[in-house]
Structure 1
Amino acid sequence: MNASNVNFSDVLIIIIVVLAIILALLYYFNKVSMRKMVQAQDFIDNNRTTVQIFIIDKKQEKPSPSNLPKAVYEQMPKTSKMRKANLVRAKVGPQIVTLICDKPVYNVLPVKKMSRLT
């Protein structure tokens, strides 16, 4: 087949097939990630406890080994390491820890005050 004999319809069919494959892959990966999110939420709901904490500081910054425990930082996915996260330094019992929290929780937490969290 000569390069000048390639029809527009042949190119269009190839593009449609490639787009269909890409959409199928995106659907599959979205389904897998949703399943993981549901499992994580079930784990959180089963292990929920009420704790009093003193919020020392809240920041939105990229996670690093200096502001998170080394073991936590190493287990994070690469994409999470590149994004800004909602980090809260708090005193839980006798320990001062850095926590990663969701946006709605981050917005509600008061700084320099005791909070009771479930």
Structure 2
Amino acid sequence: MIPVALLSTPAIVLIVVLVVLVAALAFLTFWGNKQQKKAETAQQQIEAAAQPMTMLVIDKKKMKLTESGLPKIVIDSTPKLYRRSKVPIVKAKIGPRIMTLIADEKVYDLIPVRQEVKAMVSGMYILSVKSLRGPALTAPPKVGFFQRMKNKISGK
């Protein structure tokens, strides 16, 4: 061990910074593993409660949670940080009722508008979608920023 008196001030600062960084990394690893386990258990509960439904999709949009038309209880139970974030909202007719549902990000692009689909729904959350009639559902290809600008310039 080197006596502290022999170390220079920059070396002491460097050691302190390294110790703080290692402690922060250890904390983030522990906290991240804990959050990942929570997410996995929540996903398992959602999948266990899922049930198939046939629905006619009326409209789909990405909108703020507060403007989505979801029940007040859902909005109040959401953390304030996430209320202003945009979520994929789907309005669909399920049986005689028109309902507002939240779609999974992976499924949102697959949902066709004004078509009947068979979906796995857990509460108000759409987990997966299959085509009821016609061809299988495929997501439209993503158009990049530069391609959009080219299309705008060329008038397409």
Amino acid at match of 2:94: V
- How do 1:63-82 residues align onto structure 2 when only pairs under 5 Å count? 63-64=65-66, 67-82=69-84
Gap change, CA 1:59 and 1:104, over 3 Å in 2: same
* Other-structure match for 1:41: 43
User: Which whole-Å CA distance do the structure 1 matches of 2:67 and 2:84 have between them?
Assistant: 13
Contact 1:54–1:114 (CA under 8 A) maintained in structure 2: yes
Structure with more contact order per residue of length (Cα contacts < 8 Å, sep ≥ 6): 1
* Other-structure match for 2:23: 21
Consecutive unaligned residues of structure 1, counting only runs of 5 or more, are 1-5
Contact 2:63–2:87 (CA under 8 A) maintained in structure 1: yes
Q: After superposition, give the CA deviation of every residue in 1:21-79 in whole Å (9 maximum; x if it has no partner).
A: 22122112211211111111211221221101111111112210552211111111233
Residue identity (%): 35
Amino acid at match of 1:54: L
Task: Tell me the number of residue pairs that the alignment of Structure 1 and Structure 2 aligns.
Answer: 114
* Other-structure match for 2:135: none
- How do 1:1-118 residues align onto structure 2 when only pairs under 5 Å count? 7-64=9-66, 67-118=69-120
TM-score, normalised by the number of residues in structure 2: 0.66
Moved more, 7-16 or 90-99: 90-99
| 1:22 partner SS | helix
Consecutive unaligned residues of structure 2, counting only runs of 5 or more, are 1-7, 121-156
* Other-structure match for 2:123: none
TM-score, normalised by the number of residues in structure 1: 0.84
Tell me which protein shows more helix as a share of its residues.
Answer: 1
- Structure with higher Rg: it is 2
Contact 2:66–2:84 (CA under 8 A) maintained in structure 1: no
Shift of 1:80: 2.3
Contact 2:57–2:114 (CA under 8 A) maintained in structure 1: yes
Contact 1:54–1:92 (CA under 8 A) maintained in structure 2: yes
Amino acid at match of 1:34: Q
